[in-house]
Amino acid sequence: MSGFSTDWLTLREPYDLRARNAMVLDAVAAHLDPNFSVQVVDLACGTGSTARALGPHLPVRQNWRLIDNDLSLLARARATPAPKDTVTNLIPLDINRDLEAALDGAVDLVATSALLDLVSESWLDRLAVEIVARGVPLYAALSYDGRTKLTPSDPFDAEIAAAVNNHQRTDKGFGPALGPAAAAFAIARFEALGYSVVHGTSDWMMGPDDFEIQTEILAGWASAAHDMGALSQADTTAWLTRRRDCIAAGSFSLSVGHVDFFAMPSATR
Ligand SMILES: C[S@@+](CC[C@H](N)C(=O)[O-])C[C@H]1O[C@@H](n2cnc3c(N)ncnc32)[C@H](O)[C@@H]1O
């Protein structure tokens, strides 16, 4: 178990799909020859949402290696039928320990979503070096970047957001996480290694109808704030109660900042 439940990944998938940056997806599509089949490695695939979102932008014939260390998420990915002309192989692997093995073999594109904010600077550096050494491109979507907007606002929002961002930097199994700094760090690293990078925002936008995911996110934030000792338990509970009341009244909206990027070998490299 990774701590990411099938229910949570299923709940967020339509918001992720809507948020994915179209310019970045276009850059991926433009980079690959539609007449050839494409071999894709999805790092930390979860239930396979990256393949479902990116597949329609790729050449028709696709071979995906879906990699995750959570067997229950891989089982859900296996249960989802693949489109015609798409072959899917599910690979249980710890990408912290065995990143190089995950990337070995024929690869035209490395993909990942909602992973980079969990990893450490040294792991991300290792990923960049391994990808550049193989001369393959990377599509990395939905890295949380620390921006949040809650409407209407509440006096405790800023403290909660700061606590969430501090919690994002705690160890998620890869060493101290980059959290909100991950995408900017990765983009700078790939550019320093001679890659061209197309990037843009992919923010979650949620309105009054999105009560289920808003409730889930805010409960997670309250829990993170509690773990970080940011506010007293009473203040955190009062904040969450006020926010739930707004959600129940249909008067709440939320945006959560993310970044997508596509890093590709430069023609002049
Ligand atoms: C936020 S989820 C994202 C899942 C999927 N990419 C998506 O966008 O829905 C993070 C994923 O990283 C996986 N993960 C975390 N640590 C891992 C590790 N050391 N090796 C392989 N997968 C890992 C989790 O199991 C989980 O599926």
What is the C-alpha separation between 250 and 244, in angstroms, rounded? 10
- The CA distance from 144 to 137, in Å, is 21
pLDDT digits (tens, 9 = 90+) for 110-121: 999 999 999 999
Residue 97 pLDDT > 70, yes or no? yes
DSSP letter for 116, please.
G
pLDDT of res. 132:
98
Q: How far apart are CA 40 and CA 51, in angstroms?
A: 9
Q: What is the pLDDT of residues 202-229, one digit of tens each?
A: 999 999 999 999 999 999 999 999 999 9
**Best of 5, 9, 80, 126 to mutate for ligand 1, by most ligand atoms within 8 A of CB?**
9
Whether the Cβ atoms of residue 165 and residue 221 lie closer than 8 Å to each other: no
pLDDT at 107 over 50: yes
Residue nearest to atom 11 of ligand 1 (CA): 44
What was the pLDDT predicted at 230?
A: 83
Q: Which helix (H) or strand (E) holds 246?
A: helix 233-248
Distance 153 CA to ligand 1 centre (A): 32
pLDDT attached to residue 3: 73
Q: What is the largest CA-CA distance in the chain?
A: 60
pLDDT digits 0-9 by tens, 26-62: 999 999 999 999 999 999 999 999 999 999 999 999 9
Percent with pLDDT over 90 in the chain: 94
**d(Cα 231, Cα 244) in Å, to the nearest integer?**
18
Quick check: helix, strand or coil at residue 22? Answer: helix
Q: Whose CA is nearest to atom 26 of ligand 1?
A: 46
Cα(256)–Cα(145) distance, integer angstroms: 8
Looking at residue 140, what is its pLDDT? 98
Q: What is the pLDDT of residues 147-162, one digit of tens each?
A: 999 999 999 999 999 9
Residue type for 15, please?
Y
pLDDT of residue 1: 46
How far, in Å, CA of 81 to CA of 71, rounded? 17
Kindly report whether the global pTM for this prediction surpasses the value 0.85. Answer: yes
- Name the CA radius of gyration of the chain, rounded: 19
Distance CA 71, CA 92 (A): 7
Question: What integer best gives the mean pLDDT of the chain?
Answer: 96
Give the highest mean pLDDT range of 82-86, 196-200, 230-234. Answer: 196-200
Instruction: Indicate the pLDDT class of residue 2, thresholds 50, 70 and 90.
Output: low
Q: Atom 1 (ligand 1): residue with closest C-alpha?
A: 114
Residue with tokens 């999105």: 210
Task: Quote the ligand 1 centre to 39 CA distance (angstroms).
Answer: 20
Residues with CB under 6 A from ligand 1: 2, 4, 9, 44-46, 49-50, 68-70, 73, 94-96, 113-115, 173
